[in-house]
Structure 1
């Protein structure tokens, strides 16, 4: 079983400078590579304490490439709706070459109304822009003399330089949350999948994963070769009661910042995001205690977290947990401890290579 780490910033300038946050994340990334983790992932968001310190995941992952040797570098995810495909495909191909083929490209639709407003892009166009952006990038990576005639972008003939290091292109992932159509589309196109299970019930997640896998099996790719990455908040300490008590502080801080970012949904509704008008209330109902009870977070002693992962594996099959190890305004030392304890005492239970402590 493979494990990754992910950075979803939930800090404000009053709490931590950008320079300090990036320094800490890069140190965690360097150490994760030494310890045998599989991947590092980060997001694309803007303006808010929720995600705002990561407006360009490619920049961070390029820095991460310089301090690692083996980690897969995962965009989790880039937003086609906010970038011209020629620019997006070009900088991703550049990172693929800089890292000598360690890039995995996750794409997402975006879901925050304030971000769409700032980019002067209609949310009603988000799915079409998402689909078109992925197709344009895929063609720019794998073809020459590309002539593209989409709804939003028309260009060519052009040949993208540099050519991707991985052939025909880096692995493509699709981020999905609530919408069955997104899971079905990702599977039908043979793309890998990244999800955040804590916003849904276990039964709903299992239903959506089955839908994805069923469609993947019909995509022409071999069933069982799909990759699924699931993001979990993770906080570990030797004292289980302390871990749960401190984990609540960081989880609640994360949730409060998320609520600020999604507040526009309380006055917004669109058929392109069915059900999102209830998102604010849904997040408020999704308490830390509920998340802990339902194994939507990994919190506790190493033994407790190992049991939580065993349950996830039983429910969802072979997936790669992507551990959000510095959520909320968590002290760097606490994130370091979680990273080390997970590698030393949890990963070996799942046959994962763990390097010697250095």
Structure 2
């Protein structure tokens, strides 16, 4: 199983220097210590997450400070952009990185984001699949027909020519239908535990692998990447204290996650009617249980069994979301323990293969 780093938060609303210090320094750490990839998102109009409006920009910067690690978008929202523009930008990054880019594609979430696009929000899934096909063609040097402002059809080829002949792609998946469609087209998948438990993902992964095989793709060659909140340290109690408030703050900004938390506690209520004090009480009593089974928060020893469960579920890459804790120092120190977890995991895998 591969280990990569995922970035999703970070306060972009404050004017201060060195906003990207954690991104740059943790990327260098990952590059120098055998991690597989770095993932930066596309997020618009969010104070937390406002550091990452365009993953091609952040990955262009990362290309300059890393040497071997893969540079990926998690994710590019296809309906918000013209396919030509996507291929042009990522062609630059592929050249800057000497062929290290990969892109997870998504259809988009909130209606607000679609001020950036003339595409209809209701048709975003169909527009995503159509856009991905055009992106693949353009990446491989094929001409694609588009209309100019006068309605005249123009055959378009993009430059610069990428280093990689074929673009490695992921599809951001939550629903069974999207897993199946990703399998049919032979893409990798990027998923998370934000909308459910590990057990709820297993049937979707099975559908994905079956769809791959039916279309003649080798299921063993494809990646199922799991984005997961990650923070490790030496003492389990100290880690919980460091993480509890940042994780609560994170959940407060995601209504669907709060709803999942309430359901996991057996509460069939509408959180829209909750006061701020009610939400604080819910988080105080429920957040530790919510983190268990949905995150890698703890010590290298305490997280190892769950990591093995993740592998048994059919997942072969974990994308560790590290920046939900706002302390640069704490997150950088946590990476040392994440490296230890990876080493423990690989040692167990090696010993099991030796026994066989």
What is the TM-score when the length of structure 1 is the normalising length?
0.84
- Give runs of ≥4 in structure 1 deviating > 6 Å: 260-263, 278-281
**Secondary structure of residue in 2 paired with 1:347:** helix
Query: Partners in 2 of 1:18 and 1:8 — Cα distance?
Result: 19
Mind listing any 5+ residue stretches in structure 1 that lack a counterpart? Answer: 264-277, 353-358
**Secondary structure of residue in 2 paired with 1:194:** strand
Contact 2:252 2:258 in 1 (8 A): no
Q: 1:241 aligns with which of 220, 237, 240?
A: 237
Aligned residues: 325
Residue 242 of structure 1 and its aligned partner are, at CA, apart by: 1.2
**Secondary structure of residue in 1 paired with 2:154:** strand
Residue 120 of structure 1 and its aligned partner are, at CA, apart by: 5.2
Q: CA separation of 1:261/1:232 partners in 2, compared to 1, >3 Å: closer, same or farther?
A: closer
1:227-283 residue CA offsets vs partner (Å, 9 max, x unmatched) = 1110111111111111122211121111122349999xxxxxxxxxxxxxx9989xx
Q: CA separation of 1:19/1:113 partners in 2, compared to 1, >3 Å: closer, same or farther?
A: farther
Residue 319 of structure 1 and its aligned partner are, at CA, apart by: 1.6
Question: Relative contact order (C-alpha < 8 Å, sep 6+): which is higher?
Answer: 1
Q: CA separation of 1:320/1:311 partners in 2, compared to 1, >3 Å: closer, same or farther?
A: same
Q: 1:309 aligns with which of 307, 310, 313?
A: 307
Structure with greater Cα Rg: 2
Q: Which residue of 1 aligns with 2:180?
A: 184
What is the TM-score when the length of structure 2 is the normalising length?
0.84
Q: Which residue of 2 aligns with 1:70?
A: 68
**2:322 is the counterpart of 1:325:** yes
Query: Partners in 2 of 1:325 and 1:347 — Cα distance?
Result: 15
Query: Partners in 2 of 1:26 and 1:146 — Cα distance?
Result: 36
Query: Partners in 2 of 1:70 and 1:21 — Cα distance?
Result: 24
Q: 1:232 aligns with which of 228, 231, 235?
A: 228
Residue 118 of structure 1 and its aligned partner are, at CA, apart by: 5.6
Query: Partners in 2 of 1:119 and 1:279 — Cα distance?
Result: 32
Q: 2:204 aligns with which of 202, 208, 212?
A: 208
**Secondary structure of residue in 2 paired with 1:3:** strand
**Secondary structure of residue in 1 paired with 2:331:** helix
CA RMSD, 1 decimal: 2.7
Residue 220 of structure 1 and its aligned partner are, at CA, apart by: 1.9
Query: Partners in 1 of 2:271 and 2:207 — Cα distance?
Result: 23
